[in-house]
Each structure stands twice: as structure tokens, then as C-alpha cells.
Amino acid sequence: MQKRKLGNSNLEVSAIGLGCMGMSFGYGPAADKQEMISVLRSAVERGVTFFDTAEVYGPFTNEELVGEALSPLRGQVVIATKFGFKLDPNGGPRWVGLDSRPEHIKEVAEASLKRLKVDAIDLFYQHRVDPDVPIEDVAGAVKDLIQEGKVKHFGLSEAGVQTIRRAHAVQPVTAVQSEYSLWTRGPEAEVLPTLEELGIGFVPYSPLGKGFLTGKINENTVFDSADFRNIVPRFTPEARKANLALVDLLAKIAERKKATPAQIALAWLLSQKPWIVPIPGTRKLERLDENIGAVAVELTSDDLLEIKSAAAKITVQGNRYPDNLEQMTGR
């Protein structure tokens, strides 16, 4: 497995990481715990060193799963987790708002350390920007945790460029995590140039479009009732039908390269910048192997030009989140 450095930091990780959320949250009922422990440990055997979780996934159960699976392999892996949501005080499965008050950040860090079974959190992201707490206070709280040895690196998720700059001035930001793929190109306009200027790494989540870019989903696919794609505008049957043009483009290039559409989608991301590390999620070993295989797929400048010009003619249908969640991005 190739390695990449996240920006100017000394944080080196596998070129492709593993997003762990879907193992216990978001895509229908949680998967079998022992099976997921096996997938996580198999990922390490295959050279994956970068794992992504958050307290809100479950809540809590995903961090516990990752902690249990990876604790015997602690020296070989980098675990990222996140803070910033206000969880249901009655223990419900949903968050009830945002909370990035410094005292809350520190409470979350202590709880995450226990669930992950670690002495320090490798990368601690603010999950969503909290409009009620100045980002300088957030960065300052993480800076305190870094000085105490409880956190190693600071990250932001779905933040806008002014927030990134203000945070970075207080505590250097190692990585920004936002949705980015061939069907979510938003970060290209402002975020990626800003990260390049500041020397910050970029971690695309949903690099396979929540499964859509794999070519395994069409307008007739039925999702489990607990699958959050049921409320995503981009996943209405009409939108899926219209968006298949993008999958057709990937499939055409995949055939030529003797690869899969998913591998082309990931290889395209890897070719954008050397400091980009996508984190596709999966519950299946064969999909893990497929995703890792993307590192070996070489896209020439002609291939990239072809993808660029073909993708420019395709208008993606549907927002990537319902309105209430869309408002929480890009702040």
C-alpha cells in the first residue's frame, strides 16, 4: 500500500483509508460486530493504516467497535474521530443540535479516548462548524488537548475557507474532511486551493457517492427502511436515473483499464492531489480489496482529460443532503 502525508504535517497514512460509519450506522441495521472486527483487522493486514469514526455514529457504538478491533494493532494505525454534535440526552439515536463549546470538546475527547482504547486521539475533527462558538475557541480547546498529549492532530469537516483560515491561525489544521467525488465537486472551487496554500491535507468522505458510483445502484434499487439514503434528494428514483450518466462514464473507462467503476472513481480522486486521502466505507472484504486495488490503477493525463470533459457535460441531479443538513456545510 502506498503512503501519503496529510499536507505539511508529519501524519503519514495509507493512500486509501477506511470509513467505518456504515458498519454500525446510517446504512440500515448495524452489521455483525465480530464480522466487522474481522474486516477492520483484515484492512490492517492489507496495509490500510487510516480509520475514520465519530462519537455520533451509533452514537458511540462505532467508536467502541473500532477501539475493540484495532486495540491489538495500535502501533500500526491512525484513528480519526470527531466532536461537535449535541446528542439526545435521553439516549436516542439522533443528535439534537451542535455543541462545540470548549468544555464539551474536552468531555467528548475523554469519552472517545476510553471507547477507542487509546492514550491519544490521532486526528480530532470538528464534525460540523458550530455558528454559536467562535472557531478560535474551538481551535484553542483542541490546542489545549494537544498540549496535554490527549490529541495529536486537529481537523475540520465540511468547513468553509474563512473558518479554515481562522482555525489554522490558532492551531495548525492537519486535515479537512468533506464530501468529494466525481459527483460532488464543490471543494474544487475554493477549499482545495486554500488547503494547498496552507499545507493542509484533504480527506474526501463518500468518495464513491454513498455507493452510487460503484455502478451497483439504479433507479429501481430499494434501500432498507433505516438507510439514510431514503431521505437524500440525490437518491430519489428520478435523480438516480438521471445520474446514471456519470456511472456510465466510469464504466466505460473501467472497461478499458480492466478495473471497476469504483476503482476509477477512487483513482480519479487520488490523481487530483498527492495530499488527498479518500476514505471509502464498506462492510465487505471483497469491496475492501476492490477499493484498495484503486491505488494500482493509473490514469493518464488523456484519461483525466476525457473524464473532465465528459463529466462537464453531465449535470448531477438532486442535493447531497436534505435542507436541514445542507445548511450545516460550508460554514
DSSP 230: G
Q: In the structure grid, which three cell numbers stand for residue 173, read together?
A: 489544521
- Residue 219 CA to residue 235 CA, distance in Å, equals 8
3-state secondary structure of 203: strand
β-strand partners of 79? 51
Among candidate residues 291, 195, 212, the one with its CA nearest the CA of residue 250: 212
DSSP 134: -
- Residue 215 CA to residue 164 CA, distance in Å, equals 34
Q: In the structure grid, which three cell numbers stand for residue 303, read together?
A: 484519461
- Residue 53 CA to residue 61 CA, distance in Å, equals 10
Among candidate residues 123, 45, 35, 131, the one with its CA nearest the CA of residue 330: 131
> Measured in whole angstroms, how far is the alpha carbon of residue 73 from the centre of its chain?
22
Active site residue 27: no
3-state secondary structure of 315: coil
Residue in 57, 180, 205, 321 annotated catalytic: 57
- Residue 226 CA to residue 245 CA, distance in Å, equals 27
Catalytic residues: 57
